[in-house]
Chain A
Amino acid sequence: MLYAKLVTSTVPHAKIKRIDFSKALQIPGVVKVVTGKDFPYRVGMYAGDRDLLAIDKVRWVGHPVAAVIAESLESAEKAVDLVDIEYEELPAVFDPLEALKHDAPLIHEKMEEYRHSPAFKPIPGTNIANKFTLVKGDVERGFREADVIIEEQFYIPHVSHCYMEVQNVVAHYHLDGTVEIWTSWQNVAPIRQIMALSLGIPHNKIIVRIPYVGGGFGGKAGLGWEALVAVLSKEAGFRPVKLVLSRREQFTVAAVREGFYGFAKAGFKKDGKFIAYDVKFILDAGAYADYTVNVGRAVGYSADGSYDIPNIRVESLTVYTNKIPTTALRGFGYPESHWVLEQIMDRAAEKIGLDPAEIRRINLVKPGISETCTGERLREDAGNPEKVLQTLLEEIEWNVPPEKPGEPWKIRSKGLALFVKGPAQPPNAAASAILKFNEDASVDLLIATGNFGQGTITGLIQIVAEEFGLPLEKIRVDYIRDTHKSAYTWQTVGSRGLFTDGIAILRAIEDAKKQIFRVASEVLRCPEDHLELVNGEVRVKGKPWEKIPLQDIVMGYTYPNGNSIGGPVIGRGVFMSTHTTYLDPETGQGNPTIFHTFGGAAVDVEIDLLTGEIKVLKIVQVLDLGRVINPLLVKQQVNGGSLMGLSIGSYEQIKFDERGWVVNPNFTNYYLIRIKDIPKEVVWKAVETAQSDGPYGARGVGELTMIGIAPAIANAIYRATKVKINQLPMNPENLWKAFKEQRPDLFDEALKMFIESKKLVEVRA
């Protein structure tokens, strides 16, 4: 095995004048050093903008310029420091608002050559990687008719996925042209697709294998390092090569979540009706935006959340800057759109004099009647947002004022946020499943569903066991996903796995059952529709003594004289969405998604006005999952999503200096929630409005649990103090500043009470 290490740029934006790696080659064990010019490929899934290594120019501090291949990691690490690169610096731009100005430095000169998906609109000659627009109704008329207008700006900084297993790839380019990949990634199919299209290798000569993955959260979807490591293997003489990122590189080289600005103007009638919403989103996509262009699209078409807004205009720009590239992260644009919208709702409620719950009730979409902002009429069984809200209010005891904390400079408050999400995917994103029976009627389920901690596989196994009346242990899904051996699924992202792959599996089961019943019908001399599968046996309905065990059928049935019928049973099934469409490029109208999961989060918080510290005491999440297939898995998603939402909401921010360097690329200076920081209680309730085309009526849930946390906390703060928190993270520093600036009266009062209490202590002493 050879080891690769990346040589990365030390400047944010520059022409590469010269790369001298002669000294690096002198390190014992170094096999080769390669640079971008060696592989002039463009790779990507959506924007198609990425190089394997920098060609001619670097676009961020951390941009891989060269790769060292060596016999040991130690040699590779030593050699990296000896690669000498001469740059001619170009003006750099770090803020997307600056990058949009007409005289801003241009980051991608050849944008028109990029092979992008038809769903996106890059604007060559600018730094705009995608412009998404949506128009419904007449927003100007809406504002003229509005009694109350709210205008606000919001901001969310870059955050890192922080999956515990760092990105790592082993690639082996074989002499016969076959490429074998082992990688820590969410999905096998897109890796093969991206490699095939960019490197020109036939699909069946690329074998991608993924074993257990130590977390993904969207950061291991889309484009990875596989194409690069594959060509490194070829360059190194067809030997296997391994690339493992360091944690520092996870913060400086691998893609993270984009930075985000939201500029919102909202118009309401006196009675609380939301009638006009004009919102502009600017995404700081960094140097490459391959996947973020789709985040820009999703944040755009999710602008209306759970509400029926007749007049809406959205512009969402995904903008290049000279910072780290960005990609999907759990929630995919929805946490961003909801950070804006759900705070607007509370600001409007305050101005109109309505309860935050009431203004939401007034504006909730009504499935079967309402259209979303993309003009999609919500199906009648899409969910029950009204019941979600009601359940949320009951669980958080909305109308019961929280207890007063013992220390008078602290306040308690409750806040809530609603949310809705569906998978952001191309309209034709398919799934399939193959299941084959073994001699003992155990089942091998061949699926490509990603397995990175969500537990979807358990849910899918339950479906198979249930349908055949078999114990769970009889169903096996191998722990390795393999393009060569697993049935195709587009990707496991966007909370879609259980839904899409679940449907494909149900159809494969149906296919297998047909084969089983056909044989059983002959043997038992009984019409197929009189047969049933119970406890691993085919029985005649109503005559349970007339039966054949499954193992006598699944390899074909043999009569006593040796005559045999049927044969090995293999079921196959597919999922294909038939109603989703591309969105109209001007108006954003169409059907973007296969389901909408509605939900809500509420929090009970204690606010320290003096220090800006927030202590979340209780989190409630209510989700309309359609149907709960495994309550333990849902609980894990709720707990995990709540904590991730709380961590990103409270602590996390990748900080850049004025030269574009990340200053906190480690877990000391980039704080993640730890077990000592968890709220006392997280509770969840399911609303089960079964969706007729979902597996047993189920909808996806994984990402949903993160969306409502930050806006609910901000709303709780606003409700108690009228202090607006428009910017994440809600750490003591930011909150303390906000309290002092916006409510000096409250702050001074709190300080006075604090000093009084200390005096009392002194007097007593």
Chain B
Amino acid sequence: MVHKITLTVNGYKRTVEVKDNELLLDVLRDKLKIKGLKAACWRGECGLCTVLLNGKLVKSCLVLAVEVDGSEIVTVEGLSRDGELTELQKAFIEHGALQCGFCTPAFVLASHQLLLENPNPTDEEIKEKLSGILCRCGTYYEIIEAIKSASNFYRKKQR
């Protein structure tokens, strides 16, 4: 059966037809052409398809699109405004927190959410929060450095 669903993706209303069995991941990437989220395992193990669904981090390969009609979704494309990178994204570049870059959108998005919730995280808290996302290039140390260096901006924002 085909359903018409409406999502707010990165601030824009998008209406799309989906089948019962279509994953949010595939709808976002293939139908709405949002390519920041990546597909790499299709079973919730690698975390690269992570999106913010109504303000919560979820793996979009574990969500059926038809379930989330009316939801608000933010992907990495929705973080920066007018082509200017966010301070967190700049920190990722400055600290070399990416190599091939394939996992970077997921880590940036998850780190952003982590800092919103806890703008002063310890190493252990960062590790706990981000262990659901895989990086084979092994940029984990640099990711921790980038988060800590960008945390200042999130603390300011909170004040």
Mark A residues whose CB is within 8 Å of B. Answer: 161-166, 212-217, 246-247, 452-455, 632-633, 635-636, 639-644, 666-668, 672-676, 678, 682
Q: Which of B96, B103, B136, B142 has most A Cβ within 10 Å?
A: B136
A675 and B46 alpha carbons, distance in the complex (Å): 12
Report B-chain residues with C-beta under 8 Å of the C-beta of A161: 136
**Residue contact B45 to A215, C-beta cutoff 8 Å:** no
Would you list 7 pairs from A and B whose C-beta atoms are within 8 A, ordered by A residue? A164-B38, A164-B136, A166-B40, A214-B100, A215-B100, A636-B142, A643-B140
A641 and B143 alpha carbons, distance in the complex (Å): 16
Q: Which of A452, A453, A640 has most B Cβ within 10 Å?
A: A640
Report A-chain residues with C-beta under 8 Å of the C-beta of B56: none
B99: which of A453, A642, A676, A682 is its contact (CB, 8 Å)? Answer: A453
**Residue contact B101 to A641, C-beta cutoff 8 Å:** no
The SS class assigned to the A binding surface is loop
**Residue contact B138 to A162, C-beta cutoff 8 Å:** no
**Residue contact B141 to A667, C-beta cutoff 8 Å:** no
B102: which of A215, A632, A642, A666 is its contact (CB, 8 Å)? Answer: A215
Minimal beta-carbon separation of A671 from chain B (angstroms)? 10
Q: What 8 A-B pairs have minimum CB-CB distances, sorted nearest first? A: A453-B100, A214-B102, A640-B138, A643-B138, A453-B99, A667-B45, A676-B131, A164-B102
Beyond known contacts A165-B40, A675-B126, A675-B131: 20 more, CB 8 A cutoff: A164-B48, A164-B134, A212-B100, A215-B99, A215-B102, A215-B136, A247-B45, A452-B100, A639-B138, A639-B140, A640-B138, A643-B138, A643-B140, A644-B136, A644-B138, A666-B45, A667-B134, A673-B138, A674-B140, A678-B140
A236 and B40 alpha carbons, distance in the complex (Å): 27
Report B-chain residues with C-beta under 8 Å of the C-beta of A639: 138-142
A164 and B50 alpha carbons, distance in the complex (Å): 14
CB-CB contacts below 8 Å: B76-106 with A: 96, 99-103
Report B-chain residues with C-beta under 8 Å of the C-beta of A217: 136
Given contacts A666-B45, A667-B45, A667-B46, contact A636 B99 (CB under 8 A): yes
A247: which of B40, B103, B141 is its contact (CB, 8 Å)? Answer: B40
**Residue contact B40 to A164, C-beta cutoff 8 Å:** yes
**Residue contact B138 to A165, C-beta cutoff 8 Å:** no
A215 and B43 alpha carbons, distance in the complex (Å): 20
Minimal beta-carbon separation of B22 from chain A (angstroms)? 9
Q: Which of B45, B130, B139, B141 has most A Cβ within 10 Å?
A: B141
Report B-chain residues with C-beta under 8 Å of the C-beta of A643: 138, 140
CB-CB contacts below 8 Å: B114-159 with A: 126-128, 130-144
**Residue contact B138 to A642, C-beta cutoff 8 Å:** yes
**Residue contact B137 to A453, C-beta cutoff 8 Å:** yes
**Residue contact B136 to A678, C-beta cutoff 8 Å:** no
A376 and B101 alpha carbons, distance in the complex (Å): 39
Mark B residues whose CB is within 8 Å of A. Answer: 38, 40-43, 45-46, 48, 96, 99-103, 126-128, 130-144
Report A-chain residues with C-beta under 8 Å of the C-beta of B139: 636, 639-640
A215 and B136 alpha carbons, distance in the complex (Å): 8
Report B-chain residues with C-beta under 8 Å of the C-beta of A214: 38, 40, 100-102
Given contacts A212-B101, A453-B99, A636-B99, contact A247 B42 (CB under 8 A): yes
B103: which of A164, A641, A644 is its contact (CB, 8 Å)? Answer: A164
Given contacts A165-B38, A640-B139, contact A668 B45 (CB under 8 A): yes
Report A-chain residues with C-beta under 8 Å of the C-beta of B144: 675
- Chain A, Cβ-Cβ closest to B134: A672
Given contacts A162-B136, A675-B140, contact A666 B100 (CB under 8 A): no
Report A-chain residues with C-beta under 8 Å of the C-beta of B127: 675-676, 678
Report B-chain residues with C-beta under 8 Å of the C-beta of A216: 100
A639 and B102 alpha carbons, distance in the complex (Å): 17
**Residue contact A674 to B142, C-beta cutoff 8 Å:** no
A76 and B119 alpha carbons, distance in the complex (Å): 47
- Chain A, Cβ-Cβ closest to B97: A636
Report B-chain residues with C-beta under 8 Å of the C-beta of A635: 96, 142
Report A-chain residues with C-beta under 8 Å of the C-beta of B45: 247, 666-668
Minimal beta-carbon separation of A273 from chain B (angstroms)? 38
A632 and B99 alpha carbons, distance in the complex (Å): 11
Minimal beta-carbon separation of A497 from chain B (angstroms)? 14
- Chain B, Cβ-Cβ closest to A636: B96
Q: Which of B42, B126, B138, B141 has most A Cβ within 10 Å?
A: B138
- Chain A, Cβ-Cβ closest to B103: A164
A164: which of B42, B100, B140 is its contact (CB, 8 Å)? Answer: B100
- Chain A, Cβ-Cβ closest to B124: A676
A152 and B127 alpha carbons, distance in the complex (Å): 39
A247 and B49 alpha carbons, distance in the complex (Å): 14
Report A-chain residues with C-beta under 8 Å of the C-beta of B133: 675
**Residue contact B136 to A672, C-beta cutoff 8 Å:** yes
- Chain A, Cβ-Cβ closest to B132: A674
A315 and B86 alpha carbons, distance in the complex (Å): 56
Q: Which of B42, B134, B140 has most A Cβ within 10 Å?
A: B140
